[in-house]
Structure 1
Amino acid sequence: MGNIMKQHSILFTLFIPFTVLFILAFAIFMSYFIITESDKAKTDSFITMQNNAITISDNLDAEVTKLDTVSQNIIYSSILKEEFSDYIEYQQSGRGTDAERLHNRETISDLLISMIGPNTPVNQVYLYSLQAGGIGAGLNNTDLQEAVSNKIWYDPVISSAGSKVIYCGEDPAISKYLSSDKNQRYLSLCRVFYSATNVPLGIIEVKKSFEAISNMIEGYQYSFSEKIYIFDSEGNMIYPADDLSEGKQYYEAVMSQNAEDIDGDHIIFYNDAYLLAQTSDYTGFSTVVAVDQNQLLAPIRSYLFTNLGLLFFIMLSIIVLSFFIARFISRPLNRIYLNLKNFDITQDDSTEFFQVDTHITELNALYDAFLKMQNKVKLSINRELTLQQREMQARMLALQAQMNPHFLYNSLSTIQAMADEGMDRQIMDMCQSMSRILRYISSDKEQLVTVDQEIKYTIDFLNCMKARFDDDLIYNIVIPEELRNVRIPKLCLQLIVENSIKFMTKEKSPPWKINIKGSYNEQYWEIRVQDNGPGFQEDELRMLQEKIEQINQTGVLPNLELNGMGLMNIYIRLKLLYGGEHIFRLENADGPGGAIVTIGGWKENE
């Protein structure tokens, strides 16, 4: 009675481990899933930030490009150079009538306005004389009286020797025409204006209101309440207009992390905010995106809490589900127990088995029945192994049969080419060699032959090829004596040599060389076939390796067609013969050209 109490029903025995296992597995999975998804959400957020920074930087580059295009049009205008030279001469010498000066002034203004164009990509163009004064076109068409040397950007522009200099500042003279805000800021692009003889005449300043850029930045849809700051190449903040010390701190923090270059992939954490910067190679402007940590992690926290609640709910569901699964499984086991209790498969006293008490009534009875069936299972396994061996032999024969039409197809193609060249004697010799080779490959008595036999018929094949290519084909065979009696799948070497000749003669000029070298040691043997052809293409090697990996993973052998079947045929037969413990390498020789195919096996698998 005490022994009965120690045993448990199958329902109870299944329910407890199922529940624990399911809850543990699901808890591990959900923990991994939540951590992974949280990292992914964070990464996606950073990608969004980076894309915004890149987009803003690209749009800013586009605006500067418009300024640069107008300035380029101006500096390459020969007419404008002539007219502005006259303008400077009028200013310096005082020569010319008022009508001439007026005409000169209007001509320059008209040229500048025409270069701005009807779409007005810029708001204002100033053409300054290096001595004094200048001409404005656009919103402000008045003459300039201020000396250009007083401008803040004068020294950098002069030292740039014609390269662009970008500056952001105010211009009250044109703000009254564009906006009620007299403090409206403008993006200016300046460069030296040269004469036809490369003598500096003045400075071009092309301006555009920064309002359009500000509207573009403020019009973006920001997911995490990002803050955008834009700095020029000197580190001066040009957006937003307010001098925020916070933005300057962010910029210095990013620069201190990478003083040489600001990279859009570089994200740092500073002062409870994530910072990301993008610097334009074209303008030198840096766009800094700052996101508060709490704003960035808010959706992630919500996601975590949602999944934790879901996890708790699913764990409760698992307990209920485990009970029903255990009850579902126990019912057929109870029926099996009742069927096996009085079922005697065989009476075999040749083997003595030990009784095992599983402490489960049903499993004890099942175990007794399984012990009696053990010998039957052994016999079934032996039969299964025999069937598998016969199946492997049948597959080897099928693969070998595939090679008969393959060789005949290639040989007939060679004979046709020789006939076109009038090589009658060589065709006779080749037909004799083909006869011996066909007898060899058509024999189904054995799928395995010695290396010595394979080398003999490979030489016959090479002689067939020499009948066509004469001294343009050179081969060398070195096989150690201890390797000659090793048994290999029939036609392995012949197919490799045939493949080498096919690609050498098609893609390389003679001479064509083939070296066959064998090696044999205590651990393994291998045969290496090397040619001096173009070698394997990278995509060919990748494709062959993918096919090999697919065979190894799935165990399914592909259908091989007549064209391109050689190397895969060899690999499949080696795999069937050695059960995967074989050597098969495809590689290119060091230096220019040359393919190497190596086959072999481990000594214990001979």
Structure 2
Amino acid sequence: MRRPFSFQTKLFITFSLLVTMIIAIAFSVFYWYYQKVNVETIIRTYRGEAASITQQLDNSLYTMDRLVMQIKYNPTIANTFFYMPYQENAESYFENNLEAAYKMRELITSIVGLDPQIFNRVSILSRSGAFFGTGAYYDKARASKQARESPWFNQLSSKSEYRLLLPPHRDDWDRESNREVISVIRKLGEDLTPNTLVEIQLPAEYLDKISSSGQTGSKQVMMISRTGEWIFPRNPILTERFEPHRQAFLQNSAASPSLPSGNEFAWIDMPDGSRDLLIYQHAPYSDWTVMIAEPEQELLAPTRQAGYIFSITAFLIILLTLLTLYFSTKRLLKPLRQLRDTMNQVHLDAIPDMRESKLFRGVELQNTHNELHHLYQSFRKMLERLEESKEQSIEARSRELRSHFAALQAQINPHFLYNTLSLIGALGYETGNSSINQLSTMLVGMFRYITYAGGQPVTLREEIRHTLNYLNIMKIRYEDHLDFVIDVDERLLEQSLPKITLQPFVENCFKHGFANTNYPWKITITGYERDQRQFIEIRDDGCGFSESYLVDFAEQAAEVAAGTFSVYSPTSRAQKDSGTPDEWKEESGAGTINTYARLYYHFGSRVCLELLNGEDQGAIVRIGWWKGTQLHAAQ
């Protein structure tokens, strides 16, 4: 069989589990909070990076647009191209007029301050085929041909379209280089159908430059137009890789081509089951959206490393705490183990030996706050009470043996009495004296009722029959001086009762109630049912109960209910100072309280016994119980 745990082991396990749970929960909450704060910090950082890229992009495009506006409103440039359609061989105008070309280049350079590291080319093209460009190389023949057929003229024919912003595309004026540029285009003049356009190109590599600060490790910067088309990156492999991000952004913007202002973020579920963080911010000037994405696994890598450190730290703290708990409980419970060993050596016939004195030597138990010292004091008091209980138990056993001896002796006498009474009845019958015969028969019935069947319960019917025999005997004695009435409801007659419940109360009527009362005497026994309760009343017309007796009975009834009543205890205050138990019972009529004790033992709190004085004279004993109450021995 498995050996049970010791108290120290149980205490250690309980506190260990409690401390481990508290530390684990504390570190889990701290790690969750740390991860939450870390993610929020990363989101704020990425938002700042997206805002920075957006601002650089819009600033560059805005600068390009301002330069185009300055070229547009330069009068020399405007007049030159205004009269261009009226020139012969307009497509080769600048090749044939080098001075005009030189002057045009100076004007554009003074406005733009062209730096090939920033802008790629400034171009002015006319429907007549005239084309002028500064900056990067361009194919003059192709430029003149494309100028007549350029779709930009039609795109800028509406008043609502005052500017064209072309995303990264191949340079239309230098197809051989395959270089991609970003173009800002405005019409020269305010006519609905423009004849001349101004274009400034920005190398598409500029997007790589401004995005390089945001692309570290697995983090990727992306840009899309207001219609959801890719602006950056330009690599088809990368655009395919980040297609879920684009779709998620379009869904978050209600699948509408009008993109939200400000910046937001979202978690994207990838096809491989992972998640990516997506930060996006709208650039108001370009009407493009800048997005920054990074896989959650890479994003939370520093947090996981911190989590490993937290776990190791929590484990070390738990280990250190458990060691401290173990040695603390061992030291704390050492006096308790010593007290246990001392208690194991205690015998009922001896007071604890010197080991107890050594354990608490020099300790003033009245002044200490150590619970173990008080436990020792309680142990000493328990031994004293145990010794006292042992003496009381020996005394009770002695009384029990004496009572048992008396009962054995009493079993010998009834047979002799039965035979003697039967002989007296036979003699009375022979001599013709029926009273003697009746008296003998009733006495035999009473003796048989009292001595047979031990402590088995009886019915109220049997108890009434026994009491009636007693009253008939007393009627023979007192003749016309005694009158009695028995009126019991038939519904009560099968109720179980302890044997000899009614007869002691009737006997008390003669011993105490009628002691100082003149003839005639009357006794009434009634049984009735009222409000789901059943009652038996015994009433006489004697002197009634004294006030002191009613007070004593109430105290003794409380002792019965509390379980502290003894049949050998005195029944009045005056008798508690002198006399023997037998004298107490004889002098005070202890049968009343003893009968109540037997009733309470069988019925518990469901039975009540009331002692009352009549309105004129006499005493009333009322026994009541709830209807349907069954007789049992109260535990």
**How high is the TM-score relative to the length of structure 2?**
0.46
Q: Which has the higher contact order (CA 8 A, sep 6+)?
A: 1
**How high is the TM-score relative to the length of structure 1?**
0.48
